[in-house]
Amino acid sequence: MSRVSTRSDDLISQTALTVVGRLAKGEITPLDCLDALEARVAQVEAPVNALPTRDFGRARKLAQAMMARPPAERGPLCGLPVAIKDLTEVAGMRTTFGSPIFADHVPAQSDPLVERLEGEGGIVYAKTNTPEFGAGANTFNEVFGPTRNPWDTRLSASGSSGGSAVALATGTAWLAHGSDLGGSLRNPASFCGIVGMRPSPGRVATQPAAPMDRLLSVQGPMARNVADCAFFLDLLSGEDIRDPVSLPKPASGFLAALGTGWRPKRVAFSADLGITPVDAEVAAICRAAAARFADAGAIVEEAHPDFSEAHESFNTLRAKGFAISKKALLDTHRDKLKPEVIWNIEKGLALTMDQITRAETQRLAMYQRTLKFFGDYDLLLAPGTIVPPFPVEQRYVERCNGVEFDNYVHWLAIAYAITLVACPSVCIPCGFTASGLPVGLQVVARPRADATALAGAHLLEGLLGLPFGVPIEPKVRH
């Protein structure tokens, strides 16, 4: 087919699976996809700032090399362009980590995650914006500035995978990579009306960093719907010797799990997991969405594991991780680090062994209670985040329902409680606020039951039938 005859707007509106199917049939080429994306970027990128680094020249060279191979040798992605978060290195592409320290950094080698995607037939064309080192759930940095929410450009896209979420919502990506420590895949999914999944630790192999055995931070897929997200996880997952905690690829695929007809028998919903205030409108929207599982024959009850130690445990373990991974930068580039990062590193350096021991013991107890909980329930449902999108100039949420938070990550407890117990969580759109802003719901399954979380999310997505209609044109407001 002639590239001239391919309608960019038609391609942009299609799902990733549809576009891959058309690539596999030869109806379109990877170059058509890149042309469509470049045209869409020109139309919608300026007001939202989701993809600050783009290299369509590099991508077209890869596409042309791929097209020289027989279709059967192009991998399951068949040349579909994929966007990568700017915390993950791509050989030959500027990778800043959102930090002035690395503003001109161009790596010579890609992260194993990128190598895997390219081996599966993906073509990287852009890096998505992120806060400095992914710290904080509002996507802004001193290198590229803020990423704005396409539903209202006065508002935050959340973070730290905010650029990826906005690219999906505005149609400058079909699939986008993200990462998650305290909700960085789930918060922006909730704010932007797309799907973000925190997989089980080790499900997606990545470049190891100190500490090597970290289980709090994971890499994961983002997409416009659950089926595309499951397909993306199939391609991202797999064992890699360079990542000592990576898991083997499961015998049955995640996309295949959506077609098994599985339905939960008993589902738990909690608006607050017993540990956080929640905006009343967000809680009501999520509660109503969770209740729809009854239409599929499930018993829906209000319940949650005991997460009472979550704040203390997470703050200690997060700080420890920052101290181990960022102390050298504090010593050499303190003047270029944002205050929240400095605070987290210094908090970690001040920890005692007693505090670390206590945090690890608390986490183990919560994990064991969560395993017991999932002996009674198939799924746990909770808001993706506790508030609707807030003004982009606000660095983080300082209070909710009269509760004042004591640090810049405290408002993320609804997400980081799930992080602590190593559960997979899929955040899906579940409704709109009265002012027209999207709200997301986490669908959580027991540890390593990623297929169950995706199947549950897919079932609820169908039950809700929301007319989200992403991609959207950014709603530019001043």
Residue 54 has phi, psi (to 5 degrees) of -135, 140
Sign of CA dihedral 201, 202, 207, 209: positive
Which positions ≥6 away from 4 have C-beta within 8 Å? none
At 45, which amino acid appears?
E
**One-letter identity of residue 80:** L
pLDDT < 70 positions in the chain: 1-8, 468
Name, in order, each residue with C-beta under 8 angstroms of 287's C-beta and a sequence gap of 6 or more.
269, 271
Alpha-carbon Rg for the chain, nearest whole angstrom, is 21
Confidence (pLDDT) at 7: 58
Q: Give the integer Cα–Cα distance in Å for 319 and 350.
A: 9
- Classify 306 as helix, strand or coil: coil
- Between β-strands 266-269 and 299-302, what pairing exists: parallel, antiparallel or unpaired? parallel
- Give the C-alpha distances (Å, rounded to integers) separating 391 from 56, 147, 385, 399: 32, 11, 15, 14
Q: Which amino acid is at 408?
A: Y
Catalytic residue among 164, 184, 200, 270: 184
Catalytic, 184? Answer yes
Among residues 99, 156, 160, 246, the one annotated as catalytic is 160
- Single out the residue of 169, 152, 36, 81 nearest to residue 469, CA to CA: 169
Distance CA 460, CA 471 (A): 20
Quote the tokens at residue 229: 């997200």
CA distances from 71 to 58, 75, 119, 340 (A): 21, 8, 14, 48
Strand locations in 100-173 (E) = 123-128
What are 316-345's pLDDT values in tens digits?
999 999 999 999 999 999 999 999 999 999
Residue 5 has a pLDDT of 40
Q: Are 53 and 86 in contact (CB under 8 A)?
A: yes
| Gap between the Cα atoms of 424 and 215, Å rounded | 12
Encode 249-265 in three state secondary structure.
CCCCCHHHHCCCCCCCC
What pLDDT was estimated at residue 119?
97
Q: For residues 66 and 74, is the Cβ–Cβ distance under 8 A?
A: yes
Q: What is the pLDDT of residue 468?
A: 63
Residue of 85, 127, 326, 338 marked active site? 85
Residue 99 CB neighbours (<10 A): 24
What size, in residues, is the chain?
478
Measured CA to CA in angstroms, residue 298 lies from 262, 272, 291, 379, 383 at distances of 11, 21, 9, 10, 19
Smallest CA-to-CA distance from 267 within 175, 381, 348 is with 381
- The domains of the chain, with CATH numbers, are 3-464 (3.90.1300.10)
**Cβ-Cβ contacts under 8 Å for 229 (sequence gap 6 or more):** 195, 196, 197, 221, 222, 223, 426, 454
Residues 6+ apart with CB under 8 A from 154: 148, 391, 392, 477, 478
- Tell which residue, 183, 255, 191, 190, has the closest CA to residue 218: 183
Cα–Cα distance measured from residue 400 to residue 3, given in angstroms and rounded to the nearest whole number: 51
217: annotated active-site residue: no
Q: For residue 84, what are the β-bridge partners?
A: 127
Q: What angle do CA 419, 373, 294 make, to 5 degrees?
A: 100
Cα–Cα distance measured from residue 30 to residue 66, given in angstroms and rounded to the nearest whole number? 8
My answer on whether omega of the bond before 110 falls inside 30° of 0, hence cis, is: no
Q: How far apart are CA 277 and CA 285, in angstroms?
A: 15
In contact, 218 and 199? CB cutoff 8 Å:
yes
